[in-house]
Amino acid sequence: MKSRTARIVMMVVGVIVLVIGLVFAGQGSNLIPGSSMTGDHMWLYIGLVLAVVGIVLLVLGLRRPGRGRTND
């Protein structure tokens, strides 16, 4: 991805998805009490998936465009 704006947007979205995933996982694992999601393992799994997606978006956003590559 060569557009700097697109990379920044991808990193911002990645951070947001990562934080939401960590909150969901924390609530699902009963570490963050106070909601209907607390202690429900379904939210733990959903949070872990979201956290992984957020990390992938961050890594893709942080990667620099390769030299000599052409986008078809």
What tens digit of pLDDT does each residue of 18-42 get? Answer: 999 999 999 999 998 888 888 889 9
pLDDT at 52: 97
Render the burial of 18-37: b for 16+ CB within 10 Å, e for the rest: bebbbbbbbbbbeeeeeeeb
- The residue that leads in pLDDT, 64 or 54, is 54
pLDDT band at residue 64, thresholds of 50, 70 and 90? confident
pLDDT band at residue 69, thresholds of 50, 70 and 90? low
12, two tokens: 């911002």
The pTM score is: 0.81
